[in-house]
Every structure is written in structure tokens, then in C-alpha cells.
């Protein structure tokens, strides 16, 4: 289902393209993009579209709704949604207008970024406060009107730059939630070779379980379990390379309950058994 009212001012731009073979091989490629000077009755409601939609508000305000979450998209704010879930967006009636850039895109690059930009599929608007975003969107629109092999590659890099700019915002003060999550992560780093109860982490951060898990993924890029597991695997690699400890001794020293679970986890993550990892490390050192 798709329903919309394209209530926009003259001068708005809506560009479409069919991605070339080269474009499809890039980390990101788009199919549509534009800038809408949307008026009071502008709105879109859609069940499904097989890509992502990126907004950036220049002036006015938009309202985006998806997965029971409603977000106000105000000036100098950007937002990403996965169009594979029902969504709607419209001009905020309180302002009566919404000037915004937008681009429909997809690509393999989203595998590593979606969980950071849409944690738990709960949309959030990001304050970006940078003129670079407008410049980058303008360049994408310019490239769409003058396509070439060079612009295809450039556009993939531009989309990646926009998305990473939404994640990494050095001008944004560290929030209380981020400080609490980093505090709990520091505790994990100090005690990862021991048993760590999740309740201990919730208490350190002063958060409920559900909220903590969502905030940890947002700020650390993974779950607490995988964070602990990666620290243990890294420690095990070090011991395999620089000691002659047995596999059982290394398993215990790295925080695993026994050598069987250690070997299973190690092989799953690294693609090689602990014993073979040690042999490879020894061979590598002998060649130096």
C-alpha cells in the first residue's frame, strides 16, 4: 500500500535512477533522491519499500511514524528509517511546512550500520549541526543529474559519510546514558575473566534491563555478552601466542568455565581452533 499527497512548493526536486552494475557493487547505491519544500498537507504512508530512507531537515518540521514510535524531525536533524516496515511521514501541522532532503538507498554497507542508526528498530532523530550535510546532499543530487562511473563511486562514499556523521558527532556532549554505559563497560574490562552477573551491570548503570540492553548496543555497538566474549577471546589469543599454558589453563585464565566451551566459542569467532591458532602464531613468529 502506498498513499501520498505531494503538497510541495515549486522548486522541489525529485530524481530517480536505475542503478548500474557498477552502482550495485558499491557499499551504498540509491534509486531516488530529492529536496522537498513540503507544505501543510504533504504526507506519505507506505507498507513496504525494499530499501532505506534518509531524511535531513533544513527548515520547518516533519513527523515520522514507524514501529509505534513518533519522531519530530526538526531543523538540522537527520533520520534513517528501514522502509521494510510500515511507515508514515508528513509535515508537522504546527509549523505548516517542512523543507527536507531525502534519499532512498540500500547496500551491503548497512549490515554494519543499521543497528547503530536504528537500535532495536526504534527510530531516533539525530542533531547534526553541520553545513557538511547540506553540501553532501546537494552533491548527491548534482551527481544524479550528471551520472558517470566517478559519481557512482563518489555517491557511495557520500552516503557512507552522512551515515557515519550521524553516528559520530564529536560536537555533541556526552550524555548521561553514555557515561553510565561506559562506566559499566569499564567494569567489564576490569572483571571479564570472572563471572559477571548482568544485574551487576544494570545496577552500575542505574538502568532497567531492557533500557540497559538498548543503550549498551547503541553506545558500544554490540551486546554485553558479545562484549565480554570478545574480551575473553582477545585475552586467549594473547596467552596462546606468548605462553606455553595448556588449552585448559588458558580457558580458565580467559574467563571460560572449561576448555570445551572455550574451544567451541574460539573456533566459532576466529574460524580456527585454539591449537591451530597457536601453531599458526608460532609459524608466523619463526618467519620474522
Residues 212 and 112 in one domain: no
CA 32 to CA 44: how far, in whole Å? 15
pLDDT at 198: 94
CA 248 to CA 254: how far, in whole Å? 10
User: For 238-243, what is the mean pLDDT?
Assistant: 90
Among 130, 150, 167, residue at a domain's last position: 167
| 81 to 46, 140, 266: CA distances (angstroms) | 12, 19, 35
Instruction: Give residue 223's domain range.
Output: 176-286
Percentage of the chain surpassing pLDDT 70?
Answer: 93
User: For 25-40, what is the mean pLDDT?
Assistant: 95
Residues 213 and 134 in one domain: no
* DSSP state, residue 6: -
Overall number of domains in the chain = 2
Q: Show Cβ contacts of residue 194 under 8 Å, excluding neighbours closer than 6 positions.
A: 255
Residues 54 and 76 in one domain: yes
Greater model confidence, 132 or 156: 156
Residues 111 and 249 in one domain: no
Average pLDDT of the chain? 90
Place of cell 510500515: 86
User: Which residues are registered as beta bridge partners of 77?
Assistant: 127
Residues 182 and 151 in one domain: no
User: Which residues are registered as beta bridge partners of 43?
Assistant: 5, 90
**Which range is least confidently modeled, 40-44, 121-125, 261-265?**
121-125
Residue 106: all three cell numbers together: 540500500
User: For 102-112, what is the mean pLDDT?
Assistant: 94
**Which range is least confidently modeled, 32-41, 94-103, 279-288?**
279-288
Residue 5: all three cell numbers together: 499527497
Residues 133 and 198 in one domain: no
CB atoms within 10 A of CB 280: 13
pLDDT at 68: 82
At 55, which CATH number? 2.60.120.280
User: Would the pLDDT of 288 be above 60?
Assistant: no
> What sign does the dihedral 231-232-234-238 (CA atoms) show?
positive
pLDDT at 206: 93
**Which range is least confidently modeled, 10-24, 73-87, 115-129, 205-219?**
115-129
At 266, which CATH number? 1.10.10.60
DSSP assignments along 195-264, one per residue: ---HHHHHHHHT--HHHHHHHHHHHHSS-HHHHHHHHHHHHHHHHHHH----HHHHHHHTT-SSHHHHHH
Among 115, 144, 167, residue at a domain's last position: 167
Let me know how many helices (H) and strands (E) the chain has, helices first: 11, 11
Tell me which residue of 196, 259, 185 sits closest to 227, measured CA to CA.
185
Residues 93 and 194 in one domain: no
* DSSP state, residue 119: G
Query: Quick check: pTM over 0.75?
Result: no
pLDDT at 217: 85
Element (H, E) at 2: strand 2-5
User: Would the pLDDT of 30 be above 60?
Assistant: yes
Residues 208 and 270 in one domain: yes
Among 137, 167, 197, residue at a domain's last position: 167
Tell me which residue of 31, 57, 27 sits closest to 42, measured CA to CA.
57
* DSSP state, residue 59: E
Residues 146 and 192 in one domain: no
Greater model confidence, 196 or 131: 196
Assess contact for 170 and 129: CB atoms under 8 A. no
Rounded (10°) angle between helices 209-220 and 198-205:
80
Amino acid at each position: 500500500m502506498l498513499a501520498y499527497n505531494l503538497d510541495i512548493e515549486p522548486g522541489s526536486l525529485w530524481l530517480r535512477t536505475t542503478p548500474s552494475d557498477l552502482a550495485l557493487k558499491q557499499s551504498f547505491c540509491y534509486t531516488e533522491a530529492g529536496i522537498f519544500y513540503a507544505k501543510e498537507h504533504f504526507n506519505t504512508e507506505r507498507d513496504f519499500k525494499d530499501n532505506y530512507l534518509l531524511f535531513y531537515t533544513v527548515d520547518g518540521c516533519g513527523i515520522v511514524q514507524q514501529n509505534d514510535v513518533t519522531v519530530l524531525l526538526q531543523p538540522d536533524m537527520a533520520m534513517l528509517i528501514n522502509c521494510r516496515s510500515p511507515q508514515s511521514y508528513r509535515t508537522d501541522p504546527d509549523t505548516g511546512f517542512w523543507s527536507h532532503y531525502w534519499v532512498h538507498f540500500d547496500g551491503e554497507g548497512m549490515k554494519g550500520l543499521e543497528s547503530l542508526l536504528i537500535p532495536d528498530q526504534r527510530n531516533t532523530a539525530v542533531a547534526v549541526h553541520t553545513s557538511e550535510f547540506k553540501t553532501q546532499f546537494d552533491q548527491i543530487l548534482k551527481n544524479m543529474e550528471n551520472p558517470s562511473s566517478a559519481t557512482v563511486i563518489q555517491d557511495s562514499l557520500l552516503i557512507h559519510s552522512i551515515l557515519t556523521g550521524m553516528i559520530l558527532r564529536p560536537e555533541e556532549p556526552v550524555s548521561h546514558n553514555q557515561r553510565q554505559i561506559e562506566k559499566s563497560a569499564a567494569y567489564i574490562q576490569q572483571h571479564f575473566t570472572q563471572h559477571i552477573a548482568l544485574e551487576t551491570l544494570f545496577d552500575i548503570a542505574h538502568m532497567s534491563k531492557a533500557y540497559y540492553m538498548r543503550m549498551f548496543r547503541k553506545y558500544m555497538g554490540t551486546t554485553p555478552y558479545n562484549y565480554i566474549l570478545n574480551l575473553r577471546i582477545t585475552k586467549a589469543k594473547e596467552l596462546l601466542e606468548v605462553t606455553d599454558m595448556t588449552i585448559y589453563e588458558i580457558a580458565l585464565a580467559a574467563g571460560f568455565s572449561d576448555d570445551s566451551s572455550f574451544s567451541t566459542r574460539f573456533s566459532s569467532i576466529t574460524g580456527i581452533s585454539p591449537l591451530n591458532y597457536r601453531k599458526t602464531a608460532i609459524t608466523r613468529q619463526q618467519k620474522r
